[in-house]
Chain A
Amino acid sequence: GDSVTQMEGPVTLSEEACLTINCTYTATGYPSLFWYVQYPGEGLQLLLKATKADDKGSNKGFEATYRKETTSFHLEKGSVQVSDSAVYFCALSPYNNNDMRFGAGTRLTVKP
Chain B
Amino acid sequence: GQNIDQPTEMTATEGAIVQINCTYQTSGFNGLFWYQQHAGEAPTFLSYNVLDGLEEKGRFSSFLSRSKGYSYLLLKELQMKDSASYLCAVFKAAGNKLTFGGGTRVLVKP
Partners in one complex: no
Q: Which residues of chain A have a CB within 8 Å of any CB of chain B?
A: none
Task: Please report B residues at the A interface, Cβ cutoff 8 Å.
Answer: none
